[in-house]
């Protein structure tokens, strides 16, 4: 049995199934058998070309084959974030199967693989485009990309710093805090949420700026349009600071340098199955227990 290699999504985008990839994180004990089950399922449904790749941890380099039309990512949210940074420059859509803990970015549990593959081949999905964030360091050529967030912190041990926030060249405010998180809507349910930031729906083109443990009762998160240009300057009793992307790629820089953060040119493309139980608000309720009243016994 063969399948149509060109599938139209519910939001009128074309998914090319001529060659698909399976990436699985071998640090997850369940990932390898799940990858084998997925490979067998895809083969039985007539997928013509299936490539399998293993990665050793969420910080491992992802093998990027630009001929892939779809990548199944088996692991946790960390594995998915690494795949997003690797494949998004080429516009390759990602579909997550969770073998981690929360799995907020993954669409499917391993037990639902057959149902998920069936929905994809039937066109019962949408391709969502998620805002990504880009950071750069003063007088350095490289850009660093993240799907969730950019985090600016002090030296090797936790220490308070003065952080000066500028938006579009204008001085906005000063923070006395352990650090600063600049997040996309996708990242608003990750570190940003833990630091007291708001939940932002993924469709919004916005950034969330949240100080980490601020030494002030009046400091609050800020939500700004994603087209704004953010600059952060730091005063700290240390000669270096760290800028971390998605909690995975950490860069040690001179503390006197300015960090610039802007919207990235390309977006991450995520496959979302059409299902009444997997919308954003449903996921908030199921995985973060958002808005659920305490049980009275």
Which residues are the active-site residues?
A: 77
Phi-psi bin for 2: left (phi > 0), alpha (psi -120 to 50), beta?
beta
Q: What are the structure tokens assigned to 137, written together?
A: 């360091």
Pairing state between β 50-55 and 70-75? unpaired
Inter-residue long-range contacts of 219-225, CB under 8 Å, 24+ positions, other chains counted: 219/175, 219/177, 221/192, 221/196, 221/197, 222/172, 223/198, 224/167
Rounded-to-integer distance, Cα 5 and Cα 28, Å: 31
Q: What are the structure tokens assigned to 59, written together?
A: 């910080």
Q: Give the strands of the sheet with 240-245, arranged side by side.
A: 222-225, 206-212, 179-183, 149-153, 240-245, 249-254
Give me the DSSP letters along 203-266: TS-EEEEEEES-S-SS---EEEETTS-EEEEEE-SSSEEEEEETTTEEEEEETTSPEEEEE-SS
- Sign, CA dihedral 187-146-184-9, equals negative
C-alpha distances in angstroms, 83 versus 4, 57, 148?
Answer: 26, 11, 12
Q: Which of 160, 151, 144, 146 is nearest to 232 (CA)?
A: 151
């Amino acid at each position: 049995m063969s399948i149509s290699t060109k599938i139209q999504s519910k939001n009128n985008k074309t998914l090319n199934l001529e060659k698909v990839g399976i990436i699985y994180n071998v640090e997850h004990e369940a990932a390898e058998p799940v990858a084998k089950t997925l490979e067998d399922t895809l083969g039985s449904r007539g997928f013509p070309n299936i490539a399998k790749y293993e990665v050793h941890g969420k910080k491992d380099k992802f093998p990027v084959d630009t001929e892939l039309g779809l990548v199944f990512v088996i692991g946790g949210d960390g594995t998915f974030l690494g795949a997003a940074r690797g494949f998004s420059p080429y516009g390759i859509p990602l579909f997550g199967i969770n073998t981690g803990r929360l799995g907020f970015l993954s669409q499917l549990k391993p037990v639902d693989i057959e149902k998920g593959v069936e929905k994809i081949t039937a066109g019962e999905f949408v391709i969502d485009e998620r805002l990504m964030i880009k950071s750069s360091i003063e007088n350095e050529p490289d850009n660093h990309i993240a799907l969730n967030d950019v985090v600016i912190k002090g030296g090797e041990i936790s220490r308070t710093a003065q952080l000066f926030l500028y938006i579009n060249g204008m001085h906005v405010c000063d923070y006395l805090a352990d650090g600063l998180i600049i997040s996309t809507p996708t990242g608003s349910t990750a570190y940003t949420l833990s630091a007291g930031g708001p939940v932002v729906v993924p469709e919004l083109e916005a950034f969330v700026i949240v100080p980490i443990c601020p030494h002030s009762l009046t400091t609050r998160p800020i939500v700004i349009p994603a087209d704004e240009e953010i600059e952060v300057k730091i005063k700290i009793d240390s000669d270096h600071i760290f800028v971390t992307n998605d909690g995975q790629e950490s860069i040690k820089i001179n503390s006197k340098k300015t960090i610039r953060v802007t919207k990235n040119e390309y977006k991450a493309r995520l496959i979302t199955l059409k299902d009444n139980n997997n919308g954003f608000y449903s996921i908030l309720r199921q995985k973060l227990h958002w808005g659920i009243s305490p049980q009275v016994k």
